[in-house]
Amino acid sequence: MTVIQRLVFRYISQFIFVLFVIIVALITSTLLIGFTLLEQESGNDISTLSSDYLEVAISIEDDEVEVRDSLLEGLDSQDAWLQIVSEDGTVLFNHDVPVEVPTSYSTPDFASLYDTAGPSTRLLALTFEDKPYIAVLGKSEKIRDLLTRIEDTSFTNMTEEDQKVAKELQANLYVYNETTLVDSFETTPKVNQPTLHELVDFQATNVDRTEVIVTYYNPETRLTYIGVRPNEKMTGTTQAMNTTILSTFSMTMLVILGLLLALAIWYAIRLGRPVIHIIRWLQLLAEDELQEPIDKKGKPVSTKKNGKLRKPFKPFKEVLESLSKLTHTLQHNKLQQQKTEETREEWITGLSHDLKTPLSAIYGYSVMMNNPEYEWSRHEVNEFTEVIERNSLYMSGLIEDLTLTYRIKNDGLPVFLETLEMVSTVQTITESFMSTHLKEEQTYSMELPKEPFEYDMDLNHFTRILQNLLGNAIKYNPEGTKIQIHLTKRTDSFQLVIQDNGVGMTEETRQRLFDRYYRGTGVSDTTLGTGLGLAITKQLIELHSGTIEVHSQVDKGATIEVIFPWKSYIYKKLS
């Protein structure tokens, strides 16, 4: 995948992950709110308890009933009681049940239960393991007991104890004859005298009411007593539910915000770290520090110990590879520039040093020839001009050699490859050079393959190589020296050997033979040469992927072996 494709894939996958986290947080919040509300039901009025909550708070297995302590504590706080009845009417569980409540049930018993225990009694259908059960919930209502003790038409004869109970319950009491209100005893403004509609509505459903209405009819006196008190449990229930929902929602939002903040920080590190690394890398390149940013241990920040990219950097693989190539290119260019500067300085230094002696000779003889105090003979003038010409030629060759080695060292020498037939090429170059440069009594011989073969080579460069090697064999050996040229075609290369039986050379000379300006020990000062010939020869050979070796001992001649690999030509840059 490309950088863009990887980044798009990563963004989408991370967005899906964040969305998944938010959904999980919301679901968890919803479940937490539901569980909290279910837990709160046990502490509220029994009128708010639901079948769902009871099925959570109660477990039944083989008619063995277990009830959570939280439910029992909630019932105790309300003076409430509980029965669990099987489908056949058998009571399986009792908790604080009044004595007037049945211990077993039939269908008529359930119908008359309201008359026995009052409207605060509730019947809830439960199911456990696909078996039906009935939960009977009731509440001992003190205000009902209070009404049953009043037998007068007026509340003025209430005992102090009953008045105290009414005030503790914050109950308003009312007594009616068959048509009108006879008397009232009010202790709180929180509830009002109930209307007929409120009485009927409360009898129909007493769930989720903010007041409790209790009625008692005395058949002997034909008086109806009504008590009304605030349902504080229900009043606080809504507020508690609102508080629970708000707190849970707030907590959920904080968790989501925390997760989003953590994800943002994580995402910033995952995405920002490689971006900052790339920016820092570019800054280093701009400041001419040609390297990738490294850590305290000196290792690249983007890679592991095994050299592979770290995970945050993988989407930017192509960018990092391009930066690495750019860095290497700039490093190479900087090295080339430094090498060019060094070579230029060396060239200028060498040129000024090597031109000093021939220029001095030319200047000296020119001054002598122009001196009017002397009359030079024709022979002397010829000697002067010969010296001037020889030194001029030396200077020209020196400048040419210095320029050539400078160009080779800085990869500035062009190579024009052409397919050469090597047998005839070696023979032609050798015969042409030997015919004009061989000393008296020096001889040469060639041993060439019978079958011709071809090789990709720059003809001018190869000619310079062979002429330099032949010229050194001629120049630095005495008359009578025999020079042999061997050309051999091998399996993986071809070999060119220049062998002589001349004076040979010392080990120091052999090791330094290809150093610039080195002319060897025992070489007379009159022997013309710039000291660059074999250095240039070695550079040209290596430019064609070849190698050169020298074998020699003093007074036992020398053998120079040149090998060019038998493969497709690969241009080799010199370091």
The pLDDT tens digits of the residues spanning 521-533 come to 444 444 455 567 7
Nearest CA-CA partner of 422 in 538, 563, 559, 549: 563
Q: Do 41 and 48 contact (CB within 8 A), yes or no? A: yes
What residue has token string 């200028």?
Answer: 348
How would residue 502 be classed by pLDDT, with cut points 50, 70 and 90?
very high
- Total H helices, total E strands in the chain: 14, 17
* Alpha-carbon span 541 to 558, nearest angstrom: 19
> Which uninterrupted H or E stretch holds 64?
strand 64-67
* Alpha-carbon span 227 to 171, nearest angstrom: 6
More confident call, 427 vs 252: 427
Q: How large is the average pLDDT for residues 237-258?
A: 70
Tell which phi-psi region holds residue 557, choosing left (phi > 0), alpha (psi between -120 and 50) or beta.
Answer: left
Side-chain half-sphere exposure of 360, counting CA atoms within 13 A? 6
How would residue 202 be classed by pLDDT, with cut points 50, 70 and 90?
low
Q: How large is the average pLDDT for residues 109-134?
A: 73
Query: Counting every residue, how long is the chain?
Result: 575
3-state secondary structure 478-539: CCCCEEEEEEEECCCEEEEEEEECCCCCCHHHHHCCCCCCCCCCCCCCCCCCCCCHHHHHHH
How would residue 142 be classed by pLDDT, with cut points 50, 70 and 90?
confident
Q: How many CB atoms lie within 10 A of CB 554?
A: 12
Q: Do 320 and 278 contact (CB within 8 A), yes or no? A: yes
How high is the pLDDT of residue 524? Answer: 46
How high is the pLDDT of residue 236? Answer: 46
How high is the pLDDT of residue 350? Answer: 65
Q: How many CB atoms lie within 10 A of CB 464?
A: 17
Who's near 85: CB < 8 A, 6+ residues apart? 91, 92, 105, 133, 134, 135, 136
Q: How large is the average pLDDT for residues 254-258?
A: 79
* Alpha-carbon span 22 to 29, nearest angstrom: 10
What residue has token string 């509609």?
Answer: 197
